[in-house]
Structures are given as structure tokens and as C-alpha cells.
Structure 1
Amino acid sequence: MATEGWIDPINHYKAVGQVTNGRMTGATVDDRDGFTVDRNRTFESKDEFFAWARTRKRW
């Protein structure tokens, strides 16, 4: 298990959590301004994170 950060290239949300076999657990997600929008998230893959981030409302 390693700590990784994933950044969505479209809206720049960033998830940081523990990644094992491409699955991220315990992620803290920050928006493009550095505000935390979610904690303790699990994403089954980087693509799932990208899809989730793109459904978030951008201001």
C-alpha cells in the first residue's frame, strides 16, 4: 500500500489516499482551490475518480 495523489486534468480535483492494486482508499479530496470536499472516500480506479470528480459542480 502506498500513498498516492491523483489529479483530475479537467477540473483539477485532487485525491490523496492509500493505493493498492489501482484501488484508492481513505482518500481526502480537495477542489482546485484547496478546499476539502470529501474525506475517507474509496475509488475502485483512477477512472472512477475522474468520473466522480467530473460530476461535481464547478463554480
Structure 2
Amino acid sequence: MGEKSQALILIVEDEDSIRLTLRDFLKRKGYHVLVASDGVGALKQLLDNDIFLYTDAASSISSFLH
């Protein structure tokens, strides 16, 4: 699996079925996956782990980060 086994992905999704389906899919592909169901959980994961942040909600998160 090479580099994939070292990659860490954080999934932040409030819908349980989507979050868990993505987690299971990515784990089967060899990625290390963390999950959070809300922003508070995501911030905790970001503070506790070395994570690259990519979001599809850039406009809503950008005001929070500035």
C-alpha cells in the first residue's frame, strides 16, 4: 500500500450513513481515517493530529479561520 497507509484523512460529515460509508471505503483502500460529526469534533481532531485540511465548504470555514 505504500504511501496510502501513511496518509491520514479526516472526514467531517453530520450524516452518519455518509460519514461511515466514506470511512469504510477509504479504510478498504488503505488510508488511515478519522471521523467527526461536527465542527467541534473536527477541531479536536485537527488539534490532536497532523492533518492537511481540504474542505468543500471554503466560504463558510474561511471566515472562521480568519
Q: TM-score with structure 2 length normalisation?
A: 0.28
Give the number of the structure whose alpha-carbon radius of gyration is greater: 2
TM-score by length of 1: 0.30
In terms of fraction of residues, the more helix-rich structure is 2
